[in-house]
């Protein structure tokens, strides 16, 4: 079995890693800085994590950048986050494209400023043929909103009730065509799903770390992948070892 750069067998690596990038504000406040400084530091770390994902052989990375609930934050913080998104696209698109990263957006674009919508769509178009790493950016995204949107579109398309299956619903989600996440990493130690990929995460493994997102480095990412490689994923069944023991 071929091995990854970490000496983990390729079949033990997650194909799809999703990340809840939590703790930017607390990282900043712990340093006497404004919350927006934490978001900027988190964005700088995202660059490193994307490159580490490609290095480790991850095929899909989904990052939770801005939820549908985040609009309730102070207006100056929301404006700052929008500026950061636009600035990141301007600064990083060419390099990510060069490195073979395909960018996708999951969530609703409608509420974003037209200038940002245009840049997001441009980034998607420019990188659509890249295949080294697919990065889903969940911006103005909510798991419940995604499911409601899927149901609405299934009804609009007149799909008969008896034809509605797990597979059909998955095809109507924002992540259509992308395998469900094998591993979800949450920084800052919070033990919440936070409305993130609630359909897709039905059998995901979780890795929760107290580390704030700006400090989540390649070493800890590697540790998360090593722990995942040691997990016994049963999908509601029993492991082969347990089955053999029970029938001994």
Say if 3 falls within a structural domain.
no
Quick one: tokens of 40?
């900027």
The C-alpha angle 224, 230, 234, rounded to 5 degrees, equals 110
What are the two backbone dihedrals, phi and then psi, of residue 122, each rounded to the nearest 5 degrees?
A: -65, -45
SS3 content of the chain, % helix, strand, coil (to 5): 50, 15, 35
Residues 121-127, mean pLDDT to the nearest whole number: 97
218-229 and 35-56 helices cross at what angle (nearest 10)? 50
Letter string b/e over residues 173-185, b meaning 16 or more CB atoms within 10 A of that residue's CB? bbbeebebbbbbb
Is 70 among the catalytic positions?
A: yes
Say if 4 falls within a structural domain.
no
How many CB atoms within 10 Å of residue 209?
Answer: 19
Name 33's bridge partners: none
Say if 123 falls within a structural domain.
yes
pLDDT at 4: 53
Say if 34 falls within a structural domain.
yes
Would the pLDDT of 244 be above 90? no
The model's confidence at residue 140, banded by pLDDT at 50, 70 and 90, is very high
The whole model's pTM is what? 0.92
| Number of domains, the chain | 1
Residue in 11, 22, 24, 195 annotated catalytic: 22
Range of 161's domain? 10-246
Q: What is the CATH number of the domain that holds 58?
A: 3.40.1180.10
Say if 55 falls within a structural domain.
yes
Alpha helices in the chain (DSSP H): 24-29, 35-56, 75-98, 114-127, 143-156, 166-171, 218-229, 240-246
Q: What is the pLDDT of residues 28-66, one digit of tens each?
A: 999 999 999 999 999 999 999 999 999 999 999 999 999
pLDDT at 234: 81
In angstroms, the CA 219 to CA 191 distance is 22
Say if 51 falls within a structural domain.
yes
In angstroms, the CA 52 to CA 48 distance is 6
Say if 1 falls within a structural domain.
no
DSSP letters of 71-112?
GGS-HHHHHHHHHHHHHHHHHHHHHHHHTTEEEEEES--TTS
Quick one: tokens of 190?
């919070």
In angstroms, the CA 158 to CA 19 distance is 35
Residue in 70, 130, 149, 195 annotated catalytic: 70
Is 22 among the catalytic positions?
A: yes
- What are the contacts of 231-236 at 24+ separation with CB within 8 A? 231/205, 233/182, 233/203, 233/205, 235/203, 236/203
Say if 2 falls within a structural domain.
no
Q: Helix count (H) and strand count (E) of the chain?
A: 8, 6
């Amino acid at each position: 079995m071929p091995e990854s750069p970490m000496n983990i067998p390729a079949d033990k690596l997650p194909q799809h890693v999703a990340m809840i990038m939590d703790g930017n504000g607390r990282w900043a406040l712990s340093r006497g800085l404004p919350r927006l400084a934490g978001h900027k530091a988190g964005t700088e770390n995202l660059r490193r994590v994307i490159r580490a994902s490609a290095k480790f052989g991850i095929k899909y990375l989904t990052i939770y950048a801005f939820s549908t609930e985040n609009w309730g934050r102070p207006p100056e913080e929301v404006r700052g986050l929008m500026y950061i998104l636009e600035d990141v696209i301007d600064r990083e698109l060419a390099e990510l494209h060069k490195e073979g990263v395909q960018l996708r957006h999951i969530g609703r674009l409608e509420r974003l400023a037209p200038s940002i919508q245009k840049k997001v769509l441009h980034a998607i178009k420019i990188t659509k043929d890249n295949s080294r790493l697919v990065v889903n950016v969940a911006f103005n995204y909510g798991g419940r909103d995604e499911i409601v949107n899927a149901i609405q579109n299934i009804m609009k398309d007149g799909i008969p009730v008896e034809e509605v299956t797990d597979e059909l619903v998955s095809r109507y989600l924002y992540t259509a065509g992308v395998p469900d996440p094998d591993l979800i990493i949450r920084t800052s130690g919070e033990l919440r799903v936070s409305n993130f990929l609630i359909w897709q995460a039905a059998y995901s493994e979780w890795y929760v770390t107290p580390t704030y997102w700006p400090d989540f480095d390649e070493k800890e990412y590697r540790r998360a992948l090593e722990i995942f490689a040691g997990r016994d994923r049963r999908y509601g069944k029993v492991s082969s070892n347990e089955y053999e023991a029970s029938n001994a």
